Structure formats: C-alpha cells, structure tokens
Amino acid sequence: MGNHGSNLDDILAEDMHHWYNKFMRESPSGLITLFELKAILGLRGLNKNANSYVDQVFFTFDMDEDGYIDFVEYIAAVSLMLKGEINQKLKWYFKLFDRDGNGKIDKEELETIFSAIQNITRNRDIDPEQIVTLIFEKIDVKGEGEMTLEEFIEGAKDHEDIMDMLKNLMDLTPVLEIIVAGQV
C-alpha cells in the first residue's frame, strides 16, 4: 500500500511453506490471539483510542469471529494489504471505520480511528479533525453526517486526493516489515 521497495512487493511471491513456517514459529498453536498480536508488534503503552484501533484491526481480520487469526486469515490480511484491489481495500477500511457496526461511518468514528493511527505511527502531520472534515465535505454530498459503504467507495474513488490520504494513513507497511523480519 505504500512505496516501500520491492522487499514488500515480493512478500507474497515467497513459498507458502516458508510463510507457514514463519507463522507456526511465532504461534505454535496455529492461532494468534489479540494479546499475542500486540506482543508480536511491540505495541505497548498505547492510549485508549490507539488500543481500540489495534483491537478493531484484529477483529476485521478475524473473519470467522472466533477470537483468533489463523493461517488462512493471516495470509488473507497480508494479501489484501499488499495486493488487494482498491474496492477490497475500501471495503476493509469501511469495516474498520464502522466501529459500532451499524453499516454507516460518521465523523466521530473516523476521527477516533485517525487519531489512534497517529498515536501508533507518531505521524501527526495532519490534524484528524481536518482530515475528517475534508472527507465529509467531498464524499458526504447529502450532508447527512454519515456515509454508507457505497457512498464511501464511490466518493473515495471519485477523489484522488482522498484516496491518496487514505492510502497514506492506512499504510500497514511498518507492521508488514515486522512480519517479514521474522517476528511472525
């Protein structure tokens, strides 16, 4: 999702057996819990919003909602982030942003997620409130203060600046670099 060199571009081209060995070395049970994921990624001392964001990422990748990420979910997550089509990524972003699960995202949900991301990445170049205001000005054309999945996807695709902003904000390359380094 970012321009971080061929190292990450070639990740999925590796032998699946190699990926499986990496996964099993870190998680011999074949399942990763939320606690284990946070430990693997070295996420300690996060504020409440950042901690909630990591939880939300975990639960969006836990496709069968059993409280674990298994190998198939793990590969699907890495594949989506690296090679997924734009519609797939936008659907994933939407699911991540829709914290209350009501099928719509509002300003508060977006601002909470963007603030949490900034707490984790330590990148505070743009104020989350400004990002959210810009997104809603351009995408929420009806002025309802919330967006459905369809509105979000069409609006994001229609505005290259919004797409670029989402790609930069949602770049999970640092997480993938930890995985590639062999910690998972």
Supply the DSSP string of 147-177, one letter for each residue: EEHHHHHHHHHH-HHHHHHHHHHT--HHHHH
In a domain, 136, yes or no: yes
In a domain, 46, yes or no: yes
In a domain, 85, yes or no: yes
In sequence order, the 6+-apart residues with CB closer than 8 A to the CB of 183 are 26, 40, 41
At position 177, the amino acid (one-letter code) is E
In a domain, 36, yes or no: yes
Position 68 scores a pLDDT of 93
The residue among 182, 165, 172, 184 whose CA lies nearest residue 54 is 172
Domains of the chain: total: 1
Position 1 scores a pLDDT of 39
In a domain, 102, yes or no: yes
Position 10 scores a pLDDT of 58
Model pTM score: 0.66
Q: Specify the CATH number for the domain of residue 134.
A: 1.10.238.10
Identify the domain containing residue 54 by its residue range.
10-181
In a domain, 5, yes or no: no
Predicted confidence pLDDT, tens digits, the chain (184 residues) = 344 444 445 555 555 677 788 788 888 898 999 888 887 777 777 778 777 878 888 888 888 889 999 988 887 777 776 677 788 888 888 888 888 889 999 999 888 888 877 776 666 677 888 888 988 999 998 889 999 999 999 998 899 988 888 877 776 666 556 555 554 4
Position 120 scores a pLDDT of 67
In a domain, 4, yes or no: no
Rounded Cα–Cα distance for residues 127 and 71 (Å): 36
In a domain, 3, yes or no: no
Q: Measured on CA atoms in the order 154, 158, 159, 165, is the torsion positive or negative?
A: positive
